[in-house]
């Protein structure tokens, strides 16, 4: 079991505050996105921090688990909070998620296509993006618009 599952047993679907960490992986001006299995949307790799973890450890671990890539030389891309931090979950679980997003162009290993959470992974040009997870649109839009870093919202 993990922290989120443990908390859900205690509080049901009531509001739970989480910290999410992800990485914008860029190659040749393209962004790596994963096609999620739980919803028909695309987003950046990442996941929820477990108690005692660090932002960097969480981002690197989750990205490796989801993509098979080992990432290096991560730079802070942005800190995201506010009203957009309430993702919608089909099972009724309520969450307020603060997001810490990193950026890198340095990675190694072979890109895994299908995993537990995703159908596939693919690099996209900024003007050819698929349907993005609404909770992650602001990260991706900030990348497309080349916002000044780090972003604090």
Residue-wise pLDDT tens digits, 71-116 = 999 999 999 999 989 987 888 999 999 999 999 999 999 898 777 7
Q: What is the pLDDT of residue 50?
A: 93
The model's confidence at residue 25, banded by pLDDT at 50, 70 and 90, is very high
Provide the CATH topology of domain 3-152: Nucleoside Triphosphate Pyrophosphohydrolase (3.90.79)
Note whether 29 and 105 are within 8 A (CB): no
- Statement: residue 23 has pLDDT above 70: yes
Q: Which residue has the tokens 């693919």?
A: 122
- DSSP string of 22-88? EEEEEETTEEEEEEESSSS-EE-SEEEPPTT--HHHHHHHHHHHHH-PEEES-EEEEEE-SGGG--B
- Helix-strand-coil split of the chain, %, nearest 5: 25, 40, 40
Q: Sorting pLDDT into bands at 50, 70 and 90, what band is 11? A: very high
Tell me the pTM: 0.92
Residue 67 has pLDDT above 90, yes or no: yes
Give the residues across from 124 on adjacent strands.
Answer: 31
User: What percentage of residues in the chain have a pLDDT greater than 90?
Assistant: 76
State the pLDDT at residue 90.
81
Residue 1: pLDDT above 60? no
Domain ranges of the chain: 3-152
Please state, for a pLDDT cut of 70, what percent of the chain lies above it.
99
């Amino acid at each position: 079991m993990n922290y989120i599952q443990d908390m859900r047993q205690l509080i049901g679907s009531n509001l739970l505050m989480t910290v999410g960490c992800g990485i914008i992986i860029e190659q040749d001006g393209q962004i790596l996105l994963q096609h999620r299995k739980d919803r028909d949307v695309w987003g950046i790799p990442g996941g929820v921090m477990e108690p005692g973890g660090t932002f960097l450890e969480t981002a690197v671990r989750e990205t490796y688990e989801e993509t098979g890539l080992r990432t290096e030389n991560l730079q802070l891309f942005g800190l995201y909070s506010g009203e957009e931090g309430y993702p919608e979950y089909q099972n009724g679980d309520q969450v307020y998620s603060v997001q810490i997003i990193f950026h890198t162009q340095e990675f190694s290993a072979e890109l895994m296509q299908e995993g537990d959470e995703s159908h596939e992974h693919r690099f996209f040009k900024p003007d050819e993006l698929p349907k993005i997870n609404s909770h992650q649109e602001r990260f991706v839009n900030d990348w497309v618009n080349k916002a000044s870093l780090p972003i604090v919202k």
